[in-house]
Amino acid sequence: MKVFFLKKEEFLPYDKKFLYGNLYKSEKRNIEFALSRFLLDYVLKNVYNIEKYEIETVNNKPKLKNNSLCFNISHSKEIILIGFSNSEIGVDVELIKEKNLEKFSKYFNKEFSTLNDFYNFWTKYEAEIKLQNKVKCFKSLILEDNYYLTLASVKEIKKVEFYKLIKNNGGVVIKEMKIEN
């Protein structure tokens, strides 16, 4: 499994061609959509050597038409992230920020004594929904010191490789990140 991400501010202004005619009422949503499609396009072409592809939506989940490579997109605050796998996956990334843990504990009828407890629960919940299948394995970790990331898969997750896209001298480079998982 491979995870690629970028920081929004490094890739602004965004290329409007990646909106594919989709326009949202909020500029924030337009940015998230365009940058996630840019990231998808860049990785498919430069990592997986897939030059021509078509995205279809099945049960509100984007997938590659006529290709077995699976992907799932998540974004939170400044991070746009896509997980890729040969089997179905769901991903969720959330900026870690203060929460009223007592309120959430009551609402979910589950004790959250730390922020990590809450984000572990919440990102697993979101990743499972996005997977749209029975979860065989979860992998959760901290990304960039202040984001909580969970990957959900229909198969065991043995190893996750992390890569960050960075703008460099007018171009884009992919930097492998060493993240404990």
Give the strand pairing for 161-168 and 2-7. Answer: parallel
Tokens of 31: 């940015």
The per-residue pLDDT for 27 is: 82
Per DSSP, helices labelled H in 47-174 are 101-108, 115-131
pLDDT at 13 over 90: no
φ/ψ of 130, rounded to 5, equals -70, -30
Q: What share of the chain is helix, strand, coil (3-state, %, to 5)?
A: 30, 35, 35
Q: Which of 7-11, 28-32, 121-125 has the lowest mean pLDDT?
A: 28-32
> Is residue 8 a contact partner of residue 51, using CB atoms and an 8 Å limit?
no
Task: Tell me the pLDDT tens digit for each residue of 117-148.
Answer: 999 999 999 999 999 999 999 999 999 999 99
| Tens-digit pLDDT profile for residues 82-96 | 999 999 999 999 999
Higher pLDDT, 27 or 163: 163
CATH class of the domain at 2-177: alpha beta
Share of the chain above pLDDT 70, in %: 94
Domain ranges in the chain are 2-177
pLDDT at residue 24 greater than cutoff 70? no
- What average pLDDT does range 92-108 have in this prediction? 96
pLDDT over 70 (residue 22): no
CA atoms within a 13 Å half-sphere pointing along the CA-CB vector of 132: 13
